Amino acid sequence: MNRLLQFALLSLAASPMLAQAVAPSRAATDPSARLAYRSGEVIVKYRAGMKVQATDTLRASQGQRAEARYFDGRFERLKLTSVVDVPGALKMLATDPAVEYAEPNFLRRPMAAIPNDPLFSRQWGLRNTGQANFVDGGPAGTAGADMNLVNAWDSTGTGLADRTGRGNVTIAIIDDGFETSHPDLVGNMVSGYDFADNDSDPSPTSPEGSHGTAVAGAAAARGNNGIGIAGTAWNEKIMPLRFAYDVASELRALDFARINGARIVNASFGGPTYSRAERDAIAALNNDGILLVTSAGNQDSNIDISGASYPANYALPNVIAVAATNRQDGIASFSAYGSTTVPVAAPGLQIVTTTLGGGYTDGGINGTSFSSPYVAGVAALIRDYHPSATVSEVKARLIESGQAGLDPSNPANLRTAAGRIDADRALDLPPRPSLVIRPVQASSYTVAYDSGTVDVPVLVPATVEDGANGNGSLDPGETTSLRVTVENLWLAASNVRATLTASGAGVTVNSGTALLGTLGAGGTQAVDFQVQVPANVSGHQYLTFSLALSADGGYTATRRFIMEIGKLALGGAATAQSFAPSLYDEFHTWSFDVSSLRAGSNRLIVQSTGGTDVDIFVRYGEPAQYNIDLDADVPTTEGDPEPFYFVNVPEAQRGDAADNGDETISIEAPRLGTYYVTVVNFDRSPGASYTLRATVENTPPPLGSGGGGGGAVPPALLAMLLSAALLRRRKAVR
C-alpha cells in the first residue's frame, strides 16, 4: 500500500467519531477515492454552544486561518499552512471538545461522463446545457433537451465512461463518401467499398462529397481522445459504403453490409418513389437480424399522409425512421414527421460533426441525415451491451425511451410515436411490452413503368371506413368507423386495453375502452372506434387522436396520430388561413364529391386564389403523395428547377405553379366519386389566406347526337323535331 495513503487511512481512523462521520460517503468506503479532497483545507463542525479553544490554539501556534464560516458559525472551512497536512490537522482537531467532527474538503464531480473532446461543449444534442444558438438572434437551447448521452456513457453514476462501446458492433453507413483517415474516425473504421466506382476506396471524389463523413462522425467519432468531437458510440465500428444514390448500388451496399457482419445500417437518404427491390432487400436484412435506421426526410411534411419518403415509409419491422429535433426539443422546422410512420426523434439542427480535411462543422449542419446516425449509434450501444437483443427489442428500447409520455403538447411528442429518445433509459430499461400504432394499407394505386406495373401500398395512420358516403374522409355530419391496428414489439402484453379520444372540431369518439386481450411479441390487433363529426364543421382543420394503451403489470403508453377535415362543396368555395402560426402547417388536404354528371362533355375545374404562393394538387380516390425537400434543388423530369418532387401516379395533377396563389387544374371527363385537393404553401406568409373552388363545366351533346349517359333525345321531342323538319321541307319545295 502506498505509504501516504496508509498514513491517511490511519489518521482518519484514529477517532471513532471521525470514522462514523465519514462512513456513509464513498470516500470513506473506497480507498481509491479516499484522497479525493483539496489539499491544505479541512471542514470543521463545532458543537452547539461550545467554544473553539483548540482551534484558536492551532491557529495561534501554526498561523492557520478560517477562510469561511457557514450556518451561523457552526461550519468552518479552515485553511492550513505547509506546517501540517490534512491528516495531521484532522488528528489534532479530533482532540478538541468543541469540535463535533472534522473532515477533508472532499472533491465532487459531475456524475456523468464528460469527454475531453474540445468541441463537445458545442454538441448540444449530446449534452444540452442551454448553449447559445449558432445564429445571431436565434433562441438558445433548453437545458436537458438532449439524448442524455453523458449518463448513458456512465452506467454506474460515478462519472466514469464505461459504456461507450466495446467495438463489438459494426454500423454500416451508406452514403456519398468517407474520409477514412480523419483523426476522429480512423480508429473506428473497418474495410468498406465504393459501389459507385467499383473499387475498395470509399473516399469522396469531390469536396462536395462530405455528407458521409459528417454522418459517420455523428454515429461513432472517437470520444475522449482530446480532439474534435464525440460520437454517440465512441468505440463501435464504422463500415463505410459509398454508393451512387440509386437503388442498384444501394442493393449492393446492403448486401455487402449483410455479408460482412454489420448489425446496424444507417441510411441518411431517401426519395419519393416506392421501390419493390429496395423494400425486399431491407426485408432480407431483417431475416439476418439487421436494423436499418433511416432519416425521415427534410420535406417538412407528415409522411403518415404524404407517404412519399422511402425507405422511411416502408412498414417493415427492422426499419426505424428518425425525425429531427431542435435545441428546444421540438420538431425542427424542416423535418418530416409522422406519428405512426416515424417512431422517434433526435437532434438534427446545428450539429457539430466531422468533415473533410480532418475538420469539423463547427458552425453546425442541419438535417434528419444527422438525427439518424445519432440513433444508429445508440442502437449500436444497445446491441453491444444487450448482445441477445433482437431487432424488435432494439427498436422497442428506443421507442420506450422516448419523451412522448412526459409532455403531450411538445411537437416532437405529438408528431412522432415516442418523441426524442433518451439513450440512458434505452440502455437501462427492463423488459416490457412496447405497444405502437401500426401503419396499415388503406388502398393501393398502380404506377406504370417500362417493365410493367407495380402495386404500391399507401401507408396512413388508420383505415377509415366511411359510414355515410364511403369516400374515406372524415366529413361533417358523419359517423365514421375508424380502424386502428396496435402492434406489440417486445415482451408479451396481457389484458391490453385501448381508449381513443379526439381533440379538435368537436369530434367525439363513442366506442369507450376496447379490450384487445393478449398481444405476444410481434402480435397485432385491429380495433374499430366510432367517430362522430359535427355537421357544423367548416374550413380546414387538423384532428389529433390519442390512443391510451395499458396492459397488466403497469404498462401504459399514449400514441397519437393526426387526421384532417376539409370538406369542399362542389360548385362552392372555401377560404382558409394560409398556414400561419404553426411551423408544421405547410399542407392542407380537402375533399369534394362528384355525385352526378350531366349528359355531354364534362370538365372538372379546381382553382385556388390568394396572395400567398400556394400550389394545388388533385387526385381521384385518395390524397396525392408529395415530397418537397427544402434543401434540394434538383430538377424534376419536366425540367422544373423548383426544389420539388412529386410522385407521378395516375389521376394526380399539379397546378400551373404560378408565383402567387392563382392556380388552376382542369380534368377532362371526371369520374363519379371523391376527389382530393392538396394545397401546399411555399412562402409561409403569416396571416395570408387562400380560396379554393371546384366546379364541373358541362357542354350538352349536339341535338340528334344520341348523347350518352342519359343524353338520348326523348321520343316526343324527336317527333316534334321530325314534324318541323317536314314542314320546312314542304315550304322549301313550294
**The cell 357542354 sits on which residue?**
699
CA 463 – CA 456 distance, rounded (Å): 16
Average pLDDT, the chain: 81
Question: What beta strand segments (E) does 330-370 contain?
Answer: 344-347, 354-355, 359-360
Q: What is the mean pLDDT of residues 328-338?
A: 92
Reported as a single tens digit per residue, the pLDDT across 467-482 is: 445 566 788 988 888 8
Reported as a single tens digit per residue, the pLDDT across 579-628 is: 655 678 778 899 999 999 999 999 999 999 987 778 888 988 878 777 66
| In the predicted structure, residue 107 carries a pLDDT above the cut 60 | yes
Q: What is the largest distance, in Å, between two alpha-carbon atoms of the chain?
A: 152
According to the CATH classification, is domain 440-552 in 2.60.40.10?
yes
pLDDT-based confidence at residue 403 (cuts at 50, 70, 90): confident
Q: Can 120-429 and 573-699 be said to share one CATH topology?
A: no
**DSSP letters along 227-276, please?**
SS---SSSSSEEEEEE--SSHHHHHHHHHHHHHTT-SEEEE---BSS--H
CA 630 vs. chain centroid, Å, equals 17
Q: Establish how many alpha carbons lie within 13 A of residue 290's alpha carbon, considering only the half-sphere containing its beta carbon.
A: 27
pLDDT-based confidence at residue 327 (cuts at 50, 70, 90): very high
pLDDT-based confidence at residue 9 (cuts at 50, 70, 90): very low
**DSSP letters along 140-200, please?**
PPPTT-S--HHHHS-SSSSS----S--S--EEEEEES---TT-TTTGGGB---EETTTTBS
Instruction: Name the catalytic one among 369, 371, 392, 591.
Output: 369
Q: Establish how many alpha carbons lie within 13 A of residue 74's alpha carbon, considering only the half-sphere containing its beta carbon.
A: 7
| In the predicted structure, residue 718 carries a pLDDT above the cut 60 | no
Sign of the dihedral through C-alpha 368, 374, 377, 378: negative
Reported as a single tens digit per residue, the pLDDT across 409-454 is: 777 888 999 999 999 999 999 999 999 998 533 333 333 323 333 4
Reported as a single tens digit per residue, the pLDDT across 442-455 is: 333 333 323 333 44
Per-domain boundaries in the chain: 3-106, 120-429, 440-552, 573-699
User: How does DSSP classify residue 496?
Assistant: E
pLDDT-based confidence at residue 128 (cuts at 50, 70, 90): very high
Higher pLDDT, 658 or 261: 261
Q: What is the mean pLDDT of residues 120-131?
A: 96
- Catalytic status, residue 211: yes
Instruction: Name the catalytic one among 96, 117, 175, 184.
Output: 175
Reported as a single tens digit per residue, the pLDDT across 521-542 is: 999 999 988 889 999 998 888 8
Percent of the chain with pLDDT over 90: 53
Instruction: Give whole-number Cα distances, 243 to 173, 248, 345, 477, in Å.
Output: 10, 9, 26, 52
| In the predicted structure, residue 721 carries a pLDDT above the cut 70 | no
According to the CATH classification, is domain 3-106 in 3.90.105.10?
no
According to the CATH classification, is domain 573-699 in 3.30.565?
no
Give the per-residue pLDDT at 63: 60
- Catalytic status, residue 182: no
Q: Give the containing element (helix H, strand E) for 620.
A: strand 614-620
Global pTM exceeds 0.85: no
- Catalytic status, residue 369: yes
| In the predicted structure, residue 78 carries a pLDDT above the cut 50 | yes
Q: Classify 667 as helix, strand or coil.
A: strand
State which fold the 120-429 domain adopts. Rossmann fold (3.40.50)
| In the predicted structure, residue 667 carries a pLDDT above the cut 90 | yes
Give the per-residue pLDDT at 267: 97
Give the per-residue pLDDT at 638: 38
Q: Classify 697 as helix, strand or coil.
A: strand
Give the per-residue pLDDT at 590: 93
Give the per-residue pLDDT at 580: 53
